Amino acid sequence: MVDSSSKGPVVVTGGAGAIGSVLVRSLIGRTSEVRVIDNLSGGRREHLPPSSEGTKVILTIADLKDPPSYANLFRGASAVWHLATNPDIRKGPVAPRLDLEEGTMATANVLEAARRFDVPRVAFSSSSVVYGLAKVRPTPEEYGPLEPESLYGAAKLAAEGLLTAYAHTFGLTVHIFRFANIIGPNMTHSIIPDFFEKLRRDPTRLEILGDGRQSKSYLRTEDCVAGMLLATDRTNERVNLFNLGNTDQITPREIGEKVIAAHGGRARIEYTGGVRGWVGDIPLQLLAIRRIQALGWQPRWNSAEAVDRTIEEMVEARRVHAAGEPGVPVAGGAARRDS
CATH number of the domain at 74, please.
3.40.50.720
| Residue 117 near residue 75, CB atoms below 8 Å | yes
Q: Is residue 155 part of a domain?
A: yes
Q: Is residue 313 part of a domain?
A: no
What's residue 186's pLDDT?
A: 87
Least confident of 1-10, 30-39, 42-51, 180-189: 1-10
Q: Is residue 67 part of a domain?
A: yes
Q: Beta-carbon neighbour count of residue 9 at 10 Å?
A: 20
Q: Is residue 254 part of a domain?
A: no
Q: Is residue 62 part of a domain?
A: yes
d(CA 67, CA 106): 9
Q: Is residue 261 part of a domain?
A: no
The 8-class DSSP code of residue 309 comes to H
DSSP state string for 215-249? BB-EEEHHHHHHHHHHHHHH--SSEEEEEE--SS-
pLDDT band with cut points at 50, 70 and 90 for residue 189: confident
What's residue 6's pLDDT?
A: 53
Q: Is residue 93 part of a domain?
A: yes
22: domain range? 10-183+219-244
pLDDT band with cut points at 50, 70 and 90 for residue 333: very low
Percent of the chain with pLDDT over 70: 92
Torsion of CA 331, 250, 85, 105, to 10 degrees: -170
DSSP state string for 3-66? -TT--S-EEEETTTSHHHHHHHHHHBTTBSEEEEEE--SS--GGGSPPPBTTBEEEEEE--TT-
Span 273-286, pLDDT tens digits: 999 999 999 999 99
- The total domain count for the chain is 1
Q: Is residue 250 part of a domain?
A: no
What's residue 220's pLDDT?
A: 98
d(CA 169, CA 152): 26
Span 38-96, pLDDT tens digits: 999 989 999 999 998 899 999 999 999 999 999 999 999 999 999 999 978 888 888 89
| Residue 138 near residue 288, CB atoms below 8 Å | yes
